[in-house]
Amino acid sequence: MAQRPYIVGNWKMNGTRAMLSEARAIDRAAQRHMKVEVAVAPPFTLVHAVHREAEQIGVGAQDCSPNADGAFTGDISATMVADAGAKFVILGHSERREGYGETSELVRAKADAALEAGLRVIICCGETLETRESGKAEAFVAKQLKVSLPKVEDAGEKISVAYEPIWAIGTGQTATIDDIATMHAMIRKLLIEIYGEEQALEIRILYGGSVKPENATDILGTAEVGGALVGGASLTADSFMSIALAATESVEG
């Protein structure tokens, strides 16, 4: 059975407890969008608090350690975020790949740890502008995913992929609808090779990169786009839930 569109807010390093009112507003509004799965990934410090407020939305983390426990000062394990109420974790975001040198091998190790802790994972991928302009975007993303994706049964339930061209994140620029469709079709083909058709067709491929209320309808209406990973526009209930509304309308037609 095809899964509901998945609209995930990545709050990045934004939010103190003052943001809980926004989380409550998102949760209340999500109750009017039952055909869409709405989730937010606040900073670690708010995961438990948002989880306690949330009746409808899923709560996730933005990263986790590949290690189970031990002498890793400053790190947070997958078990810890699950204990705090997270149901999923975003892994391999370009801000971690680029800013902290995270390799696809490390992303895979984190994904294994997350799945072991009972979390679902959103595996991010995406190319730089230089790679796109050199015509190698698809090959680059395919290589990232081949290494980053965990081998798991029930992949359709446990894994989502987020295609996020790096040059579109937080810049106001989005990929063209044709480029999104081409990349998502390539990713779907790859998922079928890795997981087999039955599971692969259940995996939602999200688009991320300056998704906002004004472009959500076009993006979410594109073939093989199963939702959106939203940064800036997820910080207020108003803009985030306008994107959820576009997702609802894309289902209802």
Catalytic site includes residue 202 = no
If binding is defined by CB under 6 A, does position 211 make contact with ligand PEP? yes
Residues 164-183 that bind ligand PEP (CB under 6 A): 164, 169-170
Instruction: State in angstroms the smallest separation of the CB of 196 from ligand PEP.
Output: 28
The total of other beta-carbon atoms located within 10 Å of residue 178's CB is: 9
Catalytic member of 22, 37, 95, 164: 164
Cβ distance to ligand PEP smaller for residue 79 or 144 = 144
If binding is defined by CB under 6 A, does position 144 make contact with ligand PEP? no
Tell me which residue has its CB nearest to ligand PEP: 231
Binding mask 215-234 for ligand PEP (x = CB under 6 A): --------------xxxxx-
Calpha distance 89→51 (Å, rounded): 14
Catalytic site includes residue 224 = no
Burial level of 174, CB count in 10 A (0-12/13-18/19+)?
A: buried
If binding is defined by CB under 6 A, does position 209 make contact with ligand PEP? yes
The secondary structure of 81-101, three-state, reads HHHCCCCEEEECCHHHHHHCC
| Binding piece for ligand PEP, criterion CB under 6 A, among 73-81, 114-122, 140-148, 207-215 | 207-215
Residues identified as active-site: 93, 164
By CB under 6 A, name the binding residues for ligand PEP: 10, 12, 164, 169-170, 208-211, 229-233
